[in-house]
Amino acid sequence: MTQPNIVLIMADQLAPHFTGAYGHPVVKTPHMDALAARGMRFDAAYCNSPLCSPSRAAFMTGRFVSRTGSYDNATELRASVPTFAHYLTSLGYRTCLSGKMHFVGPDQKHGFQDRVTTDIYPADFAWTPDWLNHETRIDKWYHNMATVQESGMAQATYQIDYDDEVGFAAKRWLMDRARDRTLGDSRPFCLIASFIHPHDPYVARPEWWDLYSDDEIDMPVVEMGPDDHDPFGRRVMDAIEASDKPLTMDEIRAARQAYYANTSYFDSKVGELVKTLEEMGETENTIVIVTADHGDMLGERGLWFKMNFFEHSARIPLIMGGPGVTHGVAQNACSLIDVLPTFVDIAGGSDAILGEPVDGRSLMPLARGEADPIDEAIGEYCAEMTPWPVFMIRRGRFKYIHCEVDPPQLYDLTEDPHELRNIAGDPAYGDMVEAFAAEVFARWDSAALRDKIIMTQQSRFKLHAAMQAGAGEAWDYNPPRDATQEYVRNHMDWAAATARYRFPPLEEEA
C-alpha cells in the first residue's frame, strides 16, 4: 500500500468561529476554504487542554495530560513518552518539525528526525503556576488587558519574524524532499509546520490589517461583567485583569481586526505550503491537515485568550484533504488526541506499534465519510487561574464541566450554542448531571491529581531557581547548521551542486 505524505499546519490560538472556512462572514481564509471545499471539515473538534504546551503534548502523544504529566506551560514532556513522530519514523517516514511545539525539558525533538527552527517560547520551568497561591498573578508572564489595548499595526514583531522563518524553513525542507526524490529517496514524509499567529499580541502588518475596515468588524455576541460569570470564569476574568480594566469599544474592535488580519496571514502560510506541494508534484499523494492548539475568546463573555472550556476557547479548526479523504462535514465530537492514531492509520500501522495505550481514535473513518459510533471529546485543565483540576466532557450535543470547588455546568450546545443557560440545576436534567458526575469520579481522582500537580509545581520552583543560578545548560533548541556543506563550497563540483539544487532537474540529453 502506498503511504501518503502528511503535512499538518498548526495555528496558535485560532478559534474556528473566526475563519471563513467555518462560515464567518468577514474573515478571509481562502486557502482553508479551498481545503475544506475538497476535503473534510470537522465541526466539533476540541483541544484536550485550552493552553499551549499541555494541548500540544496531548496532540503529540495521543494521551490526556493527566496521564503524561504535561499540566501547564512549564511541565516537561518526558522523553520516554512515545509520540506520533516516533511511530511514523518506525513506519518509514522522514519527519520534521518547523515552528512551535512548546516542548519543556532537554528533549526538544521528541521523535522528529529534523527540527529546522528554534521555538518561540522558553523551554524551562519559568512559567510554573502556583496552586497554593492561585490568586497571585505571575506578572512577567500572565496575559493582561495591556496586550489587548496595544493592538494595531506594525511592520515587524517577534511573532511576524518567527512565522516568516517557520514558513521559509518548512518550504525549504519540503523542496529538499523533492530533490531527494530525484536521487531515488522515495520515503514518505511528515511535516508539522506550526505557526504562532493569530496568538496575541494582536498586532498585524498593514497589508493584512488593510484587508478589513472598522465598520465590518463584528463585536462580541455575549457581553458579561465580572458578576455574571461562573466561579471559574470569574477567576479567569480577574487573573487577566479584565474585571477591573474595562476596554473601550474601539480597543475591542482593534483587537478583533488585528486577530482577523493575522488569521488571514496564517491562511497565507497554508497557501504557500500547499503551493510548494503542487510545485513538487506531491499534491495527489499528500494528506494536508489544518488545525490549532486551542481557540481564543476574543472578547466573548468579557474574556480573552483561552484557559477555559467555553466554545471559543476549547474548540479548534480541523480540516483534512488528500488521498482517501472525501468532501463533507463531520459532526462527531473529536479532539487532538485523535491525531496520533489517525497518523498511524494513514501510515498503514496498527495498534501493535504502540508503546503504550492511547486515549484517541483514528479519524480516518470520518474522513472517508463513514459512520463513527464515538461522538465525544474529553478535556482537562490543570494550569494557572484555578486551584483544582477542571474537566470537560463533550458528548453529542451536551457539554459538562466539572471542578471540585465550583458548581457543575451543563450546556445543550444545539439549543444554546452561546452557552448562556447552565442547565445543571434544572431538575429535567438531574439524571444526566448525576451520570456525568459519576463519570468524572470514575475517570479522575481529582484530589490525588491536585496533590501531584502541587508537588510538581513546588519541585519546579526549586529547579528553576537552581537553573537561574547556573545549574545546567539552557534547554532552548538551537537548530544545527553546517554552512560548510551548503550552497557552493570549494570541495564541491560547481556543476554538481547546481544540478543538486535545481528542481525539477534538467532532462538528460538523449
Which residues participate in catalysis according to the annotation?
A: 52, 102
Residue partners of 323: CB distance under 8 A and separation at least 6: 4, 284, 285, 286, 287
- What is the total residue count of the chain? 510
Pairing status of strand 334-335 against strand 5-12: unpaired
- Rounded to 5°, angle at Cα 295 from 104 and 84: 45
Backbone phi, psi, residue 189, to 5°: -130, 155
- Rounded to 5°, angle at Cα 166 from 275 and 339: 80
Q: What is the DSSP track for 128-154?
A: ---GGGTTS--TTTS--HHHHHT-EE-
- 86 contacts 343 by C-beta, under 8 angstroms: no
Backbone phi, psi, residue 42, to 5°: -95, 120
Long-range contacts of 37-40 (CB under 8 A, 24+ apart): 37/327, 38/321, 38/327, 39/288, 39/319, 39/320, 39/321, 39/322, 39/325, 39/326, 39/327, 39/367, 40/319, 40/320, 40/321, 40/325, 40/326, 40/327, 40/328, 40/329, 40/330, 40/366, 40/367, 40/369
- Rounded to 5°, angle at Cα 134 from 393 and 418: 35
Report which of 496, 479, 497 is spatially closest to residue 487, judged by C-alpha positions.
Answer: 497
Burial bucket for residue 482 (CB in 10 Å: 0-12, 13-18, 19+): exposed
CA distances from 181 to 90, 177, 189, 275, 362 (A): 20, 6, 11, 18, 29
Burial bucket for residue 270 (CB in 10 Å: 0-12, 13-18, 19+): buried
Distance from the first to the final alpha carbon of the chain: 34
User: What is the residue whose three cell numbers read 517557520?
Assistant: 166
Residue partners of 187: CB distance under 8 A and separation at least 6: 92, 93, 94, 180
